[in-house]
Amino acid sequence: MSILKTLQEPNPILRETAEPVKPENGSFLHLKNLCTDMRQTMKVLNGIGIAASQVGESKRIFLVDKQSFLDIDLPSDIFINPKLIKKSFKRVVGEEGCLSVRGIFGTVKRALAVTVEAYDLNNKKFRLSGKGLLARVLQHETDHLEGKLFIDRADPDSLHVYIKEENDE
């Protein structure tokens, strides 16, 4: 297991449209190790989601932090080739940050609820519906796969710098 380097805006890899994962291409072991390292990296950096492009792999994979959603029975924390198949009309504003835009936060209007279809590490298809914070994370991470960052969608007046002080929790 290792902690991976997270690319920072304006790294061009963050702006690429990520490639679909094809099970017949590349090794399963590489995919498994990549996901393990991404999970570890997300935890160390206190992220609630991470996309493969953020660690330099332009692939359609993201992970969601299970610990942040203990009340939800996530079928998998690994989302391979995910697709947003449903989005509520109702949208809500909420604050976001990103491991690739370190120290910047801002508010983004997103669908209140979404349904995602994806594959887990065993290539089993699953469907997950979420609302609130989970829906927000699923949309934020799906955006990464299209080379979009939350700062593109954020209300420009809301963007602000927050540097964590040593005496913060």
Cα separation of 169 and 76, whole Å? 29
**Binding to Ni ion in span 12-51, by CB under 5 A:** none
Q: Which is nearer to Ni ion, 76 or 141 (CB)?
A: 141
- Known catalytic residue: 165? no
98 is in an annotated binding site: yes
Q: Which is nearer to Ni ion, 52 or 98 (CB)?
A: 98
- Interface with Ni ion includes 64 (CB under 5 A)? no
Identify residue 148 by its one-letter amino acid code. Answer: K
Of the candidates 24, 95, 117, 141, the residue annotated as catalytic is 141
Cα separation of 40 and 56, whole Å? 15
144 is in an annotated binding site: yes
Which of residues 31, 98, 114, 154 is near Ni ion by CB under 5 A?
98
Identify residue 41 by its one-letter amino acid code. Answer: T
Closest to 117 measured CA to CA, from 133, 99, 129, 103: 129
Eight-class DSSP state of 5: P
Q: Which residues belong to the annotated binding site for Fe cation?
A: 98, 140, 144
